[in-house]
Structure 1
Amino acid sequence: LMDSGNCVAMISSDAERTFVSWPGAESVLTPDMMVPVQVIPGDWVFTSGYTLSYPGSREALAAWIDALPEEVPVVFDPTPVIAEIPRPILERMLARTAWLSCNADEAAAIAGRGDAQTVAIRLLAEHCPKAAGVVIRAGAHGCLVRLAEGGTHAIPGFAVSAVDTNGAGDTHIGAFVSALSRGLSPCEAARYANAAAAVSVTRHGGSSAPTDSEIQEFLSHHDQGTIAHGREDATAT
């Protein structure tokens, strides 16, 4: 038996956050633990870089992902701990990724520096051969969507008065995958995700993701021009 790890999130006056954390039981994953996890047709699998950064869990997760049926889409977020993921593990994950979602710094850590479009093109051409596309999140500016079939789309964000950016990136990815799984186009899904992240940063705490009805209401009000816009703060980094 092991104790759970802990994470202390510190929020500054400009709504940005930083973490002080130490791992525990959640950093250990064995092949036997993955046996009960059954994937059925229609499922999407999301993988976080945090699990791949732990020496006690990375190999078990990577092997489980490798063994997934080809038709199961895998969405990957390398997270800010990307430097702690061994490059061979990272490349294995990228090779299986259907959608990569990351911020500009994480994208550059994989594919090198450059403007967002150039880096996105390199990600698809050199690192994510099976991906349908990549999403590079840009905070209050929204995100960039690059499709493997060609085409780069800048999806603008929403101006809100942010109080806490903790969990905004997770909210963005979850909303994006949810929208894709329901048949929205990648650009529609990205706009939906931008709205979800915008709502989340107006709330305190890490578990601040809005419901679908809340996102739809936000989008409806925005489309009608009735949202009271505040200053632009980071939404999904």
Structure 2
Amino acid sequence: MTLHRPSCFISTGSVLIDLPLHVTRIPAPGGAITGTSSGPAVGGGYTVVSAVARQGLPAALAATLGTGPNSALVRQAMRLDHVELLVEELVGDIGTCTTLIEPSGRRTFVTTEGVEAEPQREDLERIDLMAGDWVYATGYDLAHPTSCPVLVEWLLSMPSEAGFVMDLGPVQPDISDAILMPLLRRCTLLTGNDLEMTRLASRLGGPDALRRACPEALVVRRTGFRGCVLWPSDGGSIEVPGFVRTVVDTTGAGDTHTGVLVVGLMDGLEPMMAARRANAAAAEAVARMGPAQAPRREEIDALLALA
């Protein structure tokens, strides 16, 4: 008898250690300012996979970790969230991301690089994808000169039955057409914030060109406290209202939205209902300090019940 495992969400997004600094303003060049630190936190590609795990679905990380103290922090978080690591570690350590957070919630990043930029093709090849699985990739890794070739080749070789969600982020202009266009055609879900999606549509020649570039994808435009706009492959755009919360830290809100949205789709919800849960999760996440602060399924249920 053949045993079938449950469907799984697999993130290829590089994991970093976030070093958040709350500042009153960004200093001028050559200037100085005092910031307030909440201490190191596991961030980067971990936020989206932890958001999925906290909904009770199988979640796994296919991003490279190392042998150093930063990677040890990630493994500790994975144990707490019950996230599985699917690839082998490398000697060395993952990098950091220093985030300057202004009172408005706007963020400025300074990133250092480590072994997270060195995915191994043989590790990815050993991942046994099946129908119902979802694979996640970020623009940061697709724009990076060492991770891009390995990831793109593997992503484009995935079985068609596996879902593929892509968040290009602010580095979309750094990804060449030769890489971007095949990935868009393969995409099942394309997500980005309002500015990022506007820039992508402009690059491609307008909204209709964007639709032609990813004909099978559910396109999601995240619009902050207003919620999001869905554009299914078989219909027009649908606005899904958001939830207003006091903003403490917007770090990871987009990844939280993406993770919870994919969980809804994996649960069999219609896109609008999945997006409503994602909007609630993102609203709750921005009211908390730190990157990987996705609420659990029962917390989302409670927020929706109040609404």
Q: TM-score range by the shorter chain?
A: 0.7 to 0.9
Name which of 124, 127, 130 aligns with 2:216: 130
Are 1:38 and 2:124 an aligned pair? no
Are 1:193 and 2:283 an aligned pair? no
Query: What letter matches 1:188 in structure 2?
Result: M
Root-mean-square deviation (Å): 1.8
The aligned counterpart of 1:77 is 167
Name which of 128, 139, 142 aligns with 1:49: 139
Query: What letter matches 2:287 in structure 1?
Result: T
Give the structure with higher Rg (CA).
2
Unpaired runs of at least 5, structure 2: 1-90
Name which of 186, 189, 194 aligns with 1:96: 186
The aligned counterpart of 2:59 is none
Q: Secondary structure at the match of 2:169?
A: coil
Are 1:173 and 2:263 an aligned pair? no
What is the CA distance between 1:8 and its match in structure 2?
0.8
User: 2: CA distance between counterparts of 1:198 and 1:86?
Assistant: 33
Q: Secondary structure at the match of 1:207?
A: coil
User: 1: CA distance between counterparts of 2:267 and 2:207?
Assistant: 25
User: 2: CA distance between counterparts of 1:5 and 1:208?
Assistant: 20
Query: What letter matches 2:284 in structure 1?
Result: V
Q: For the Cα contact (< 8 Å) 1:62–1:92, is it kept in 2?
A: no
User: 2: CA distance between counterparts of 1:191 and 1:92?
Assistant: 30
- Write the deviation string for residues 9-56 of structure 1: whole angstroms up to 9, x where unpaired: 121112222211122110112312312322122211111111112111
**Normalized against structure 1, the TM-score is what?**
0.86
**Normalized against structure 2, the TM-score is what?**
0.67
What is the CA distance between 1:86 and its match in structure 2?
2.3
Are 1:148 and 2:238 an aligned pair? no
Q: Secondary structure at the match of 1:140?
A: helix
The aligned counterpart of 1:164 is 249
Q: Secondary structure at the match of 1:184?
A: coil
Q: For the Cα contact (< 8 Å) 1:120–1:136, is it kept in 2?
A: no
User: 2: CA distance between counterparts of 1:161 and 1:45?
Assistant: 32
* Gap change, CA 1:188 and 1:120, over 3 Å in 2: farther
User: 2: CA distance between counterparts of 1:104 and 1:120?
Assistant: 13
User: 2: CA distance between counterparts of 1:207 and 1:95?
Assistant: 30
Q: How many pairs align? A: 217
Query: What letter matches 1:16 in structure 2?
Result: R
Q: How does 1:106-125 map to 2 (within 5 A)?
A: 106-112=196-202, 120-125=207-212
